[in-house]
Amino acid sequence: MTDFNLMRELRRQAPGKIILLVMDGLGGLPLEPGGPTELEAAHTPHLDRLAAEGTLGQTIPIRHGLTPGSGPAHLGLFGYDPLTYVVGRGVLESVGVGIVVRKGEVAARGNFCTVDAQGMITDRRAGRISSGEALPLVEKLAKVRIPGVQVEVRHVQEYRFAAVMRGPGLESDIADTDPQRTGVPALEARPTKAGSQKTAELFNAWIAEARKAIADQPKANALTLRGFSTDPGLPSFPETFGVRSACVAAYPMYRGVAELVGMTVLKFEGDKPEDEFAAVARAWDDFDFFFVHIKKTDSRGEDGDFAAKSAVVEGVDAALPDLLKLGPAVLAVAGDHSTPAKLKAHSWHPVPFLLWAPATVRTDDQRRFGETACSHGGLGTFLATDAMPLMLAHAQRLEKFGA
């Protein structure tokens, strides 16, 4: 696990720049025993060349056997052990839809539900109403006003939304209002520490007004809130590792996590690999470290579309020369976790990792970028939190430890 104080002690400036290219959900599974994975089935001449010139390994996102969500998986790649640096569900959901949550602001994840005439919950997820049905309800909630604070509300997916309260003196130690069963009323927001009493009352006031606003709605006439949390105050990534750091990501969730650790989020148009790589090129002189995020490997994995996931990888491969011509000292190609098309979901399997660093890498005997090659790579199998020290070292950005 990355020792942050040690990193601060050992970091040093060097001219070489680092690119961390994350293909979300990169790891896959063969459809039949001994067959290729999505990555292995893809035609990837550039990645294969980098594999031959660099070294391979496989990362364990959190611990063996644990399937990570996107937030924890990215924190791990950034060097933050997800079991130590826990980000609340409310913050992650908010960040995921592009709401910035700052210290002292309180985020919650919301569920639309249905209640009967007596106020008893009849469906905790309002029949999993569609996003189309939920959006007008979110608009009603967004207009709710209560004295002393502002509450920003955005839709997440289906029956889920995110709410962030802003104002003076707020605390986030509040228990979920979802009773986890039907036939009972939603719970009041109750403080779990004394300091959160006022915030709980404000949330109860907001909930009361919000329920009035949707009381006559046919599909969902009530709501619950869970995962109350605030900015976890993560150590600063640029300060800890001594790198001016930029995030290039098309999806809000990943921009949000990058912002939580203090990276500068770059604006750009488009969502193709070449659009993202062009954004890196434009900002090349201003940063030392670039986190570049490709979403669609994960999306096609979640769809269960093996061939489409391979095609996304091929698209990244085709655009790679745009990154290489910038002359990075280190290019790491990684995944935050596996999303095998066969499982249509995130999984716990080890994740391929490629480290290319022409001046400093110890090349191994692997010649292609794929799961099996990575399991035989020179870096071995290691925790994702070790990726940052490895990248910094290969960019000659870490001092020797001890005399």
Choice between 198 and 342, CB closer to its own copies: 342
Q: Locate tokens 């655009």: which residue?
A: 319
Which residue number, 45 or 380, has a Cβ lying nearer to its own copies? 380
CA 159 and chain centroid, separation: 21
In the set 16, 110, 191, 377, which binds its own copies (CB under 8 A)? 377
Among 197, 204, 299, 381, binds its own copies (CB under 8 A): 381
Judged by CB under 8 A, does residue 126 bind its own copies?
no
Based on the shown chain and the rule CB under 8 A, indicate whether residue 13 belongs to the binding site for its own copies. Answer: no
Please check whether residue 228 is in contact with residue 106, taking contact to mean a CB–CB distance below 8 angstroms: yes
Give yes or no for a contact between 130 and 159, defined as CB atoms under 8 angstroms apart. no
In which element (H, E) is residue 57 found?
A: strand 55-60
The residue (of 92 and 333) whose beta carbon lies closer to its own copies is 92
Q: Which residue number, 124 or 160, has a Cβ lying nearer to its own copies?
A: 160
In the complex with its own copies, the residue whose CB is nearer, 316 or 388, is 388
Task: Report residue 375 as tokens.
Answer: 């399991």
Distance separating alpha carbons of residues 347 and 61, to the nearest angstrom:
10
Residue from 29, 101, 200, 223 binding its own copies (CB under 8 A) = 29
When binding is defined by CB under 8 A, the residue of 4, 10, 24, 106 that contacts its own copies is 10
Cα–Cα distance for residue pair 69/262, rounded to 1 Å: 20
- Report the nearest approach of its own copies to the CB of residue 176 (Å): 14
Under the criterion CB under 8 A, does residue 399 sit at the interface with its own copies?
yes
Supply the DSSP string of 317-378, one letter for each residue. HHHHHHHHTT--SEEEEE-SSB--TTTTS-B-S-EEEEEE-TTT----S--S-SHHHHHTST
Choices 2-10, 14-22, 212-220, 308-316; region in contact with its own copies by CB under 8 A: 2-10
- Residue 176 as a binder of its own copies (CB under 8 A): the answer is no
Check residue 326 for interaction with its own copies (CB under 8 A): no
Question: Shortest gap between Cβ of 379 and its own copies (angstroms)?
Answer: 8
The verdict on 9 binding its own copies (CB under 8 A) reads no
Rule CB under 8 A: choose which of 6, 135, 184, 208 binds its own copies.
6
Q: Which residues in the 93-112 window bind its own copies by CB under 8 A?
A: 93, 96
**365: contact with its own copies by CB under 8 A:** yes
Q: How far is the CB of 365 from its own copies (least distance, A)?
A: 5
Nearest-approach distance from CB 226 to its own copies, in angstroms: 11
Q: For residues 233-292, which are near its own copies according to CB under 8 A? A: none
For position 354 contacting its own copies by CB under 8 A, the verdict is no
Whole-angstrom CA distances from 367 to 54, 56, 203, 318, 364 are 9, 9, 57, 18, 8
**Do residues 182 and 200 touch, judged by C-beta distance below 8 A?**
no
Smaller CB separation from its own copies, 52 or 283:
52
| Residue at token pair 């020179």 | 378
Cβ at position 323, least distance to its own copies in Å: 19
Residues 45-104 that bind its own copies (CB under 8 A): 52-53, 58, 62-73, 82-83, 86-87, 89, 92-93, 96
d(CA 211, CA 188): 13
Q: Which residues in 328-347 contact its own copies (CB under 8 A)?
A: 340, 343, 345-347
- Work out the angle between the directed axes of helices 296-303 and 306-324 (0-180°, nearest 10): 170
3-state SS, residue 9: helix
Residues touching its own copies, count (CB under 8 A): 71
Inter-residue contact 193 to 200 (CB < 8 Å): no
9 vs 201 by CB, closer to its own copies = 9
Measured at the CA of 345, the angle between CA 343 and CA 350, to 5 degrees, comes to 85
Look at residues 227, 230, 174, 168 and name the one whose alpha carbon lies nearest to residue 203.
174
Comparing CB distances to its own copies, the nearer of 134 and 351 is 351
CA 206, CA 264: separation in Å to the nearest integer? 33
15 near its own copies, judged by CB under 8 A? no
